[in-house]
Structure 1
Amino acid sequence: MRCVDKRFFWAACLLLLAGKLQADIAIHGETVFPVSGDPIEDGVVLVADGRIQAIGPASEVEVPDGYERHEAAVVTPGLIDARSVVGLAGMYNVPADQDQLDTTAPIQAGLRALDAYNVDEGLVEWLRSLGVTTLHTGPAPGALVSGQTMLVRTSGNTVQDASIRDVAGVSMTLGAGIARHFESPGTRSKGVAMIRQAFEDARAYGRQDPDERSTDLGKQALLDALNGDLPVFIHANTATDIITALRLAEEFDLELVLEGAADVYRVLDRVKAADVPVLLHPTMTRAGGESRNAAFDTAARLQEAGIPFAIQGGYEAYVPKARSVLFEAAIAAANGLGRDNALAAITLGPARILDMDDERGSLETGKRADIVLFDGDPFEYASRVCKVFNGGELVSEECL
């Protein structure tokens, strides 16, 4: 065999071997929560090639020979942080790891989270160890238009490996807090006028001949939002700003998702009529400033009103920059939301809002094997995450 042929032969062998390094696994749980259906007592989840092959009671699911076995008290889908800045904001809170907000201009729609995301950031590892397998991350609140968000796995050696969707939407903020970062706008009306003008400029940009116009990354992102190709995530906490966000969405026919929304319980009827989902602030967010009306039972009120929502890890200016959705959902569960709805708010709820429920958010045959193993009730303070699988790969077993 010629040398070059041998190289190809051994390369092919290595590729075949690499494909088999990911073991077929059987996960047995005293209770398995598919989320998309009723809990399964004494349940089994079979995984092969990174996907769920079967799920059901142990009496009905036969475990094939050779499957690697794992035991847990409780088994859930991988958790999804519906909105975060992790990977852009770092745990050390020094200039070198603070890429979550550029303050050189109040409107920068061309910025991409993809270009700043750090797969080696310690906060990514921290969330992964707490069961978070998927992040919707990007620029922090604080600019009128701060850039483009992304969907990412919490494992992977490079951003290309980790990325699920390079661009998930356009991030915007309404409220008086923007004045902390920029000389203009100084008022709410000025800020909304600037956003409205940015959309009108993007609309005019779209009317130009594509072969003749100069490329403008910011206008193109806003044009994609106007065309319905990208959702717009507007961070708005006060009732006034929430209503303004709804008005902007109606005026420009935007696919709107509300973020933060501390006062949303005051305008539930308006939000429901607009058919707009909510990425709710962390349940334990500090109630001050524009979040001064935040309440522990807002998630329960959204559930009762039939408004699609998810609980986010959010952004905080102080260390560690983001909260754990596992802990936040536990508090919501204890304040009227209940265990099953709270678990859905950090799994299938965000998966549906972020349009990835065909792959993530629940334990169903054919879906990715993003799975978390607990040694007790996930929302009990003393319970621990013991193993985390992302696409069938064991990515954490720290038992935290």
Structure 2
Amino acid sequence: MKSFALIGAFAAALLSTTAFAQDVAVRGGQVWTMGPQGVITDGVVVIEDGRITAVGPAASTAIPQGMEVLTAPVVTPGLVDAHSTVGLTGYLNQPDDQDQLDDSAPVQPHLRAIDAYNPHDRLVQWVRELGTTTLHTGHGPGALVSGQTMVVKTRGNTVEEALVEDGTMIAANLGAWALDESSPGTRAKQMAMLRQALVAAQSGGSDEEDDDAENSGRRDLMNEAFQSVLRGETPLLITANRMQDMQSALRLAEEFDITVVIDGAADAHMMLDELREAGVSLTLHPTMARNSGELENAALTTAAVLAEAGVPFALQSGYEAYVPKTRVVLWEAGYAAGNGLAPQDALASVTIDAARIIGMDSRVGSLEVGKDGDVAMFDGDPFEYVTPVTGVVIEGEVVSRARR
């Protein structure tokens, strides 16, 4: 297995001329493509009109005359965060910048992340400077069904400029985080309410009022959201950490023949056979998440165990109830690599594997011709805590030149 060894001939300095170039070349002592070309020693990635047009050894890959060239010892695809609340969860941790959860009702699948995302929040800039170029973000834990997610690039003056896909998944939650003194008050009630919502969507109405609305021609946004799940268009992202809740998620998927992605999955190492047989994908809890409450069985080695068992997973920044309420996938992957996960697999968990789970692998996650020109540059091994990110490119635009 290759390591992220420094290539002595390459300095960390970034050679730059234009702040918002859409055409740029990135040369690295090591280029970890995460695609068929593997790791290229002394490699080049050429980006034109925001898309990758060439990837290969510097000796045989032509760089168009006059194109800006950035250099770094290690070059990787832009990092992909498989599940986040960044942009809805603000860095100030004040009521006016906490839009990841509306607790006025337990089931709200029609809440759209696009209506709450703030592209100017400092957390968006922070994760961008640390190499994250694509976020799967949206509503978080705290309610049985908290709302929708979306995929954005970590740039843009408006949410429309950042947006890649709206309504990517619908976020649901099982276990203690989504219990309420009134309803649902138990795990059995959680499952009953989820089943009832899906059954109502199958029949087109959840109660007499909804039936009247349908007969009068008025739209029911809640039913429409669940109907997209039933049609197989939208996965149900179920945050479930305890084994009993993960089993309930698998049961729901089988009962309704729907696509479920299990989020959190702290007890995943306790049910490897069931997960592998179900063919479900996981967005695993952050490696360094505190092991308490619902995550009391979480382990630093879970990512390595899942990789060995052949269970598809990606790492995430996630959501936590304490400041700053989100993490950085680069560091979470690094810690997983320090606890048994091979470097190639660790990088995959925040690039191509993450892209595959959120349905974006045709655009991001690897450095291949035709894909978005998203690149992260490092001054050495990305998973060494002291290694800074030296530059970030999104679709050919140099969005960060800071050393972070």
TM above 0.5, yes or no, is: yes
Query: Secondary structure of 2:55's partner?
Result: strand
CA deviation string 1:320-357 (max 9, x = no partner): 11000000000111111111100000000011111111
Q: Does residue 351 of structure 2 align to residue 336 of structure 1?
A: no
Segment drifting more, 207-216 vs 255-264: 207-216
2:290 is equivalent to residue 291 of structure 1: no
Tell me the distance in 2 between the aligned counterparts of 1:26 and 1:222: 44
Match of residue 345 from structure 1: 349
**1:64 corresponds to 2:68:** no
Partners of 2:54 and 2:92 lie apart in 1 by: 42
Q: Give unmatched runs, 5+ long, in structure 1.
A: 1-19
CA offsets 1:235-289 (integer angstroms, 9 cap, x no match): 0000000000000010011111000000011111111111100000000000000
1:86-97 alignment, distance < 5 Å = 86-97=86-97
Amino acid at match of 2:341: L
Q: Does 1:139 align with 2:139?
A: yes
Amino acid across the alignment from 1:291: L
Task: Read off the aligned partner of 2:304 and give its amino acid letter.
Answer: A
Quote the Cα distance in structure 2 between the aligned partners of 1:72 and 1:173: 41
Question: One-letter code of the match for 2:59?
Answer: S
Give 1:223's aligned amino acid: Q
**Separation in 2, partners of 1:356, 1:182:** 39
Tell me the matched-pair count: 380
Q: 1:263 pairs with 238, 242, 267, which one?
A: 267
Instruction: Using the TM superposition, give the Cα deviation of residue 63 of structure 1 relative to its aligned residue in structure 2, in angstroms.
Output: 2.1
Worse-matched range after superposition: 182-191 or 257-266: 182-191
User: Shift in Å at residue 182 of structure 1?
Assistant: 5.2
- 1:10 aligned partner: none
Q: So what's the TM-score if we normalise by structure 1?
A: 0.92
Query: In structure 2, what is the equivalent of residue 321 of structure 1?
Result: 325
Looking at structure 2, the residues matched to 298 and 215 of structure 1 have their Cα atoms a distance apart, in angstroms, of: 44
Which residue number in structure 1 is paired with residue 188 of structure 2?
A: 189
Match for residue 120 of structure 2? Answer: 120
The equivalent of 1:396 in structure 2 is 400
Find the counterpart in structure 1 of residue 55 from structure 2: 55
Q: Name the CA distance, whole Å, in 2 between partners of 1:244 and 1:62.
A: 54
After superposing the two structures, state which structure 1 stretch, 40-49 or 343-352, moved more: 40-49
State how far apart, in whole Å, the 2-side matches of 1:289 and 1:21 are: 46
In structure 2, C-alpha distance between the alignment counterparts of 1:230 and 1:80, rounded to whole Å: 19
Q: 1:249 maps to what in 2?
A: 253
- 1:371-392 C-alpha deviation (Å, 9 max, x unpaired): 0111111001111111100000
The code of the aligned residue for 1:248 comes to L
Please give the secondary structure, in 1, of the residue aligned with 2:164: strand
Question: Which residue matches 1:100?
Answer: 100
CA distance in 1, matches of 2:73, 2:286: 27
By relative contact order (CA 8 Å, sep 6+), the higher-ranking structure is: 2
Percentage identity across aligned positions? 52
Q: CA contact under 8 A between 1:256 and 1:276: conserved in structure 2?
A: yes
Larger helix fraction of residues: 1
| Aligned-partner residue type, residue 35 of structure 1 | M
How far residue 64 of structure 1 moved from its aligned partner, in angstroms, is 2.6
Structure 2 residue aligned with 1:369: 373
> Cα offset for 1:110?
1.0
Q: Which runs of 5+ in 2 are unaligned?
A: 1-18
2:22–2:395 Cα contact (<8 Å) kept? no
Q: Is 1:385 matched up with 2:389?
A: yes
CA distance in structure 2 between the partners assigned to 1:183 and 1:105 by the alignment:
11
Q: Offset at 1:105?
A: 0.7
**Aligned pairs (5 A) from 1:133-172:** 133-172=133-172
RMSD: 1.6
